[in-house]
A and B are shown apart, each in its own frame.
Chain A
């Protein structure tokens, strides 16, 4: 039986769905911007 390569995940890997940390950070920032937009709309709608 041939030796299979090591498949254990690197402990510094991001969650697989994001593939790279850069993408993960981009999602966090995008999510934050959406929250700011919602807060702005909330603030604006109930301003008076």
Chain B
């Protein structure tokens, strides 16, 4: 890497550490440390919410996904604005007025201690695992950049984020996230700009879109009603509403953001602000991946983007098979390049023929690429997926010094903003829902502050350790969502019981939650519906079973808050 890029990365670290340490000074108790003394304006919360969601996986994995599979992934966010409006009308005022630290604390007031503990435990489990993935993903990128051991990078990122999060608490987390989100915005537009600038001068914007559109990669809306397909309008809207309701309504890492608001208005505004920006932002990221596909029509892409695996294949007993495929690949690329040029230059009358030729050439090239992927897969005995390597390979190979550093910094910012938020919320749930609840209920604020910092360090260490073993989980972005989906819907069901069903009891909520999780487990085993629908299954089973058990419980309702 060029010294200028190193300088950009070093400046970023110095700056973020400076912001974190300066804004995180003066924490006197856990209301300071976990909720920034409930003093944050809406735009800080809004940017913080967005930064938490934009992980390095989003930047690296989503662009790769658009390159390989197209932009249909955007439909997963279609439920978000509706979910946010529903939350602003229901859960947000409940949480805000209850003056709680965690969403699960609210459940004890409504139901009982064991329901609170179980939901909080599920959050710790799912977020702890997801945090490990979030640390792992950027290490993939940076291990390619630096040529360093992936494990060393995981340790550097995971433990690096832990240090200033443990020191500064929520205020440091949110202010660093504001800057990180701004860096991510700049990085995103540099990414898209760099790809577009790299296209041949003779290629117009509309011709570029026509080339990628021919392969179906610009299909952002698919009305197919099949529930087995994950990225459709209906799955994104219906399944997405439940996913987002669960995520923003029951996940401590999000709830804690809007609990820091200096008023309920500010909290609501922050969520609506992030909901409005989310889909356009994802569009820009996905469009970058789609345009990268056009770029690689005219510049030869590597046969697979993971160069480490390719080197292993070249040194393996199956190297001859690879060399044969590589020769076919070279010819197939030339054929596709000519077909792409012909498609770009085609007039109205010859367009259909040019499209057919281009698609045939693209299929041929993809078949060779798949063949090499299968060789690697057989060599390793594990499925092969190089989606996350597509974009970083482009950055490394084609971008000038300085821009590489800037995009790396954006990836760092995306990773660290997510990691620090998760660590802070994991620490909050651990200390408030378990340590203070069961072990030391009446210690001083100073004592809890020390324990909170220790908990942050412990979670940072655990997530980093888990990240070391996350190496081969396929497209990481789906893994994160899948892990969450196993618990989210069921937890949402408990909150629906708490707020909407007056007769619901603690016993009903607890066993309803257990039944909901079992139902999601069975659904994932014996059904082929998209994982986005698991949240609906989980939520519905919790509400129905919880309600029925509540009816059989003695002593009906506890007052609502």
A38 to chain B, nearest CB (A): 9
* Most chain A C-beta atoms within 10 Å of own C-beta, residue among B210, B264, B265: B265
Find residues 225-266 in chain B having any chain A CB closer than 8 Å to their own CB: 262-266
With an 8 A cutoff between CB atoms, is B78 at the interface? yes
Q: Assess the B220–A32 pair: CB atoms within 8 A.
A: no
List the one stretch of B186-194, B267-275, B303-311 in contact with chain A: B267-275
Determine if A46 and B88 form an interchain contact, defined as CB atoms under 8 angstroms apart: no
CA distance A43 to B78 in the complex (A): 15
CB atoms of A40 and B276 under 8 A apart: no
Q: Could you say which residues of chain A place their CB within 8 Å of the CB of B93?
A: 12
CB-CB under 8 A from A11, the residues of chain B are 262-266
Is the pair B269, A28 in contact by a Cβ cutoff of 8 Å? no
Q: Verify A39–B220 contact, CB threshold 8 A.
A: yes
Decide if B280 is an interface residue (CB 8 Å cutoff): yes
Q: How far apart sit A40 and B308, CA to CA, in the bound complex (Å)?
A: 40
B213 interfacial by beta-carbon distance below 8 Å: yes
Docked complex: A23-38 residues within 8 A CB-CB of B: 24-25, 28-29, 31-32, 35-36
Q: Is A39 in contact with B221, judged by CB distance below 8 angstroms?
A: yes
Given known A35-B280, A43-B220, contact A28–B209 (CB-CB < 8 A):
no
Query: What separation, in Å, do the CA atoms of A13 and B266 have in the docked complex?
Result: 9
* Chain B min CB distance to A20 (Å): 12
Answer whether residue B51 sits at the interface, using C-beta atoms and an 8 A cutoff.
Answer: no
Question: In the complex, how many angstroms separate the beta carbon of A40 from the nearest chain B beta carbon?
Answer: 5
Taking CB atoms, residues of chain B closer than 8 Å to A40 are 220-221
In Å, the complex CA distance between A17 and B383 comes to 55
Residue pair A48, B218 in contact (C-beta under 8 Å): no
Provide the residues of chain B in CB contact with A36, threshold 8 Å. Answer: 78, 221
Residue numbers in A under 8 Å from B214 (CB-CB): 48
Which applies to chain B's interface (DSSP): helix, strand, loop or mixed? helix
- Best-surrounded residue of A13, A15, A43 (most CB of chain B within 10 A): A43
Count class of interface residues, chain B: 20 to 34
Assess the A29–B85 pair: CB atoms within 8 A: yes
Q: Is B81 a contact partner of A29 (Cβ separation < 8 A)?
A: yes
Q: A8 to B84, alpha carbons, bound, how many Å?
A: 27
Which B residues lie within 8 Å of A35 (CB)?
A: 279-280
Residues of chain B within 8 A (CB-CB) of A29 are 81-82, 85
Nearest-neighbour CB distance to chain A for B284, whole angstroms, equals 13
Most chain A CB within 10 A, of B219, B220, B263, is at: B220
Given A29-B82, A32-B81, A48-B213, the answer on whether A21 and B268 have CB atoms closer than 8 Å is: yes
- Are B82 and A46 neighbours in the complex by a CB distance under 8 Å? no
B272–A24 touching, CB < 8 Å: yes
Q: Is A47 an interface residue (CB 8 A)?
A: yes
Contact yes or no, A43 B221, CB < 8 A: yes
Contacts of B276 in A (CB 8 A): 28, 31-32
Shortest Cβ gap from A14 to chain B (Å): 7
With a CB–CB cut-off of 8 A, which chain A residues contact B219? 43, 47
Q: Are A46 and B209 neighbours in the complex by a CB distance under 8 Å?
A: yes
Is there an interface contact between A43 and B218, defined as CB atoms closer than 8 Å?
Answer: yes
What's the minimum C-beta distance from B10 to chain A, rounded to whole angstroms? 39
Q: B266 → chain A, closest Cβ, in Å?
A: 8
Give bound CA distance, A41 to B214, whole Å. 15
Q: Which A residue's beta carbon lies closest to that of B86?
A: A25
**A39 vs chain B, min Cβ distance (A):** 4
Q: How far is the CB of A43 from chain B (nearest CB, A)?
A: 4
B contact residues around A39 at 8 Å (CB): 74, 220-221, 279, 283
**Cβ contacts under 8 Å, B74 to chain A:** 39
A18 to B: closest C-beta gap in Å: 11
CB of B473 within 8 A of chain A?
no
A33 CB to nearest chain B CB (Å): 9
Question: Would A32 and B82 count as touching, CB distance under 8 A?
Answer: yes
For A21, the chain B residues whose CB sits under 8 A away are: 88-89, 268
- 9 A-B residue pairs with Cβ-Cβ distance under 8 Å, sorted by A, are A11-B264, A12-B93, A21-B89, A25-B88, A25-B89, A28-B81, A31-B81, A32-B275, A46-B218
Interface residues, chain B, with chain A CB atoms under 8 Å away: 74, 78, 81-82, 84-85, 88-89, 93, 209-210, 212-214, 216, 218-221, 262-266, 268-269, 272, 275-276, 279-280, 283, 355
9 smallest A-B Cβ distances: which pairs?
A46-B213, A11-B263, A32-B81, A46-B218, A43-B220, A39-B220, A12-B264, A25-B85, A43-B221
17 additional contacts (CB under 8 A) given A21-B89, A32-B275, A46-B209: A11-B263, A11-B264, A12-B264, A24-B272, A28-B81, A28-B275, A29-B85, A31-B276, A35-B280, A39-B279, A39-B283, A40-B220, A43-B218, A43-B221, A46-B213, A47-B216, A47-B219
